Amino acid sequence: MGGADLVIVSNRGPLSFSLDDGEQLVARRGAGGLVSSLSPLVAGTDTIWIAAAMGEHDRAAAERGLMEIEGFRLQSLALDPDRYRMAYDVVSNATLWFLHHGLFDLARRPRLDRRWLDAWTAYQQVNTAFADAVVETAPEGATVLVQDYHLALVGAGLARRRPDLRAVHFTHTPFSDPSGIRILPSTVAEELLAGMAAHVSCGFHAPRWAQAFEACCAEVLGSVPPTFVAPLGPDAEDLGRVVSSEESDRWGGWLTSLLGDRQMVLRVDRVELSKNVLRGFLAFDELLAAHPDLRERVTFVALVYASRQGLPEYLAYRTEVEHLANQVNHRWATPGWTPIVLDITDNYPRSVAALRRYDVLLVNPLRDGLNLVAKEGPIVNTNDGLLALSREAGAWAELSEAALEVNPFDVAGTADVLATALTMSSAERAERSAAIREVAGRRSPRDWLDDQLAAAES
Ligand code: G6P
């Protein structure tokens, strides 16, 4: 697996570029779960990875053409920056992401006006540029793995121009149901679904999202294309390396001095509307109000990192998150205790150190394609930690037998779940925690990749 006959196509690539002190381009590992899961599997192989140059320095690196760098064969696409921004910000993130996660405030958004239609044209252009790159670089008969909602139309271009290729599409988000897809202009909905359907098969992390996609296709296209379900698993080896790193160890010390003998509720997320950070804090507030005995006995550690700062909705959300954490702290803090410790910086070793020792991991998204943290937490935790998991996360389909169920909209119910978890007997905790660890570790990134390769052959 992973070789000259494999091409990966994704918006965000395995490396991002910046300048070092001597103004030389240096590569760093790219952000995001997709990249960290796939990178170890394809590094050192002949697999070609085609991705967008997202920043200024990525664009400079892209001028080198197909790069052999850090074990990758990377083709970075420098697209017209304004057109790329329109496609990424307006269509991919402000429309398709919102649609699939049910995030629209429908009285106000979306506004599918002339500017939006222009952005849709940009989205088509970006997809065409990706398809062109695949047409030019893919070896005869290669398997092409197209990732995510940014690139729904790539398969349509390939089917016409390179029928020798076998292209699979994999969606990492949830998928809208037919009533959601009806928000899009009819021609756009048709083109989007037909673009995905032009692949050999379309993959999803959970049966729910595959069924929603099928239902949309049945309604809009009048036919149902092949689909498959392939949940991603955590990368135990990579996590193990981070766990045993000096840096993560240092952060473990930081946590010990922060917490003392208090219990820890933890969340690790992007600052992302669908992650439901606000209701998590509100639930914690209700927990402290209803359980005076828990005050000063538990700290909510929220390790989140900024995301998609080009979108006003995300900037506003971040401000709300900070404001609410301050409010809750203002209400309950005592001289020696800060109820919510919120940190908005991207620090992976620190997140892993926290995952090692949480008492309760709160994963309460409104909707989520999978949520890898819900699997990573249990496999590294050494504190008989419990998982409080949203039933709207794709991972719920696999983890429901051992996780505590959260309805992400039900703040009072979430507070009750936290109370149950924090007061559970140690014997029951140990049992549940062992069960969740076992289920969370059943699949690996390789299983997920193998499923895509198998789907390409189907
Ligand atoms: C989700 C998407 C990925 C995306 C990631 C980070 O996991 O499925 O495609 O890369 O979020 O979002 P960003 O917009 O920063 O790439």
Q: Of all protein residues, whose CA lies closest to atom 4 belonging to ligand 1?
A: 32
Instruction: Tell whether ligand 1 has an atom less than 6 A from the beta carbon of residue 269.
Output: no
Instruction: Tell whether ligand 1 has an atom less than 6 A from the beta carbon of residue 14.
Output: no
What is the whole-number distance in angstroms between the Cα of residue 306 and the centre of ligand 1?
12
The string of pLDDT tens digits covering residues 101-119 is 999 999 999 999 999 999 9
Atom number, ligand 1, closest to the C-alpha of residue 270: 6
What is the whole-number distance in angstroms between the Cα of residue 301 and the centre of ligand 1?
23
Residue 31 pLDDT exceeds 80: no
Residue in the block written with tokens 């918006």: 11
Atom number, ligand 1, closest to the C-alpha of residue 88: 14
Atom number, ligand 1, closest to the C-alpha of residue 33: 7
pLDDT of residue 29: 83
Cβ distance 275 to 365 under 8 Å?
A: yes
pLDDT of residue 4: 60
C-alpha distances (whole Å) from 234 to each of 159, 238, 318, 378, 429 are 33, 9, 27, 10, 22
Q: Of all protein residues, whose CA lies closest to atom 12 belonging to ligand 1?
A: 32
Candidate from 59-68, 188-197, 215-224 with smallest mean pLDDT: 59-68
**Is residue 33 very low, low, confident or very high in pLDDT (cuts 50, 70, 90)?**
confident
Instruction: Tell whether ligand 1 has an atom less than 6 A from the beta carbon of residue 37.
Output: no
Average pLDDT over residues 276-294: 98
Cβ distance 250 to 344 under 8 Å?
A: no
| Per-residue tokens: 69 | 């760098």
32 Cβ contact partners less than 8 Å away, ≥ 6 residues apart: 12
Mean pLDDT score of the chain, rounded to an integer?
Answer: 96
Residue 131 pLDDT exceeds 60: yes
Instruction: Tell whether ligand 1 has an atom less than 6 A from the beta carbon of residue 148.
Output: yes
Phi, psi of 344 (to 5 degrees): -105, 70
Instruction: Tell whether ligand 1 has an atom less than 6 A from the beta carbon of residue 172.
Output: yes
What is the whole-number distance in angstroms between the Cα of residue 263 and the centre of ligand 1?
31
pLDDT of residue 32: 78
What is the whole-number distance in angstroms between the Cα of residue 32 and the centre of ligand 1?
6
d(CA 199, CA 106): 31
Candidate from 16-30, 318-332, 391-405 with smallest mean pLDDT: 16-30
Atom number, ligand 1, closest to the C-alpha of residue 150: 9
Instruction: Tell whether ligand 1 has an atom less than 6 A from the beta carbon of residue 34.
Output: yes
Residue among 10, 12, 205 to mutate when testing ligand 1 (max atoms within 8 A of CB): 12
CATH numeric code, 236-440: 3.40.50.2000
> Pick from 170, 191, 180: which is nearest to 100 by CA?
180
pLDDT of residue 265: 99
What is the whole-number distance in angstroms between the Cα of residue 235 and the centre of ligand 1?
18
Q: Of all protein residues, whose CA lies closest to atom 10 belonging to ligand 1?
A: 32
What is the whole-number distance in angstroms between the Cα of residue 43 and the centre of ligand 1?
20
Cβ distance 105 to 366 under 8 Å?
A: no
**Is residue 426 very low, low, confident or very high in pLDDT (cuts 50, 70, 90)?**
very high
Q: Of all protein residues, whose CA lies closest to atom 2 belonging to ligand 1?
A: 172
Residue 380 pLDDT exceeds 90: yes
Q: Of all protein residues, whose CA lies closest to atom 9 belonging to ligand 1?
A: 148
| Per-residue tokens: 389 | 């998991």
pLDDT of residue 254: 97
Domain 6-232+447-457 matches domain 236-440 at the CATH topology level: yes
Instruction: Tell whether ligand 1 has an atom less than 6 A from the beta carbon of residue 30.
Output: no
Atom number, ligand 1, closest to the C-alpha of residue 54: 16
260 Cβ contact partners less than 8 Å away, ≥ 6 residues apart: none
169 Cβ contact partners less than 8 Å away, ≥ 6 residues apart: 146, 147, 151, 152, 154, 155, 196, 199, 201, 202, 203
Which sequence spans correspond to the domains of the chain? 6-232+447-457, 236-440
Phi, psi of 130 (to 5 degrees): -65, -45
Average pLDDT over residues 27-31: 84
**Is residue 130 very low, low, confident or very high in pLDDT (cuts 50, 70, 90)?**
very high
Residue in the block written with tokens 């000259």: 4
CATH 1.10.10.10 fits 6-232+447-457, yes or no: no
What is the whole-number distance in angstroms between the Cα of residue 305 and the centre of ligand 1?
13
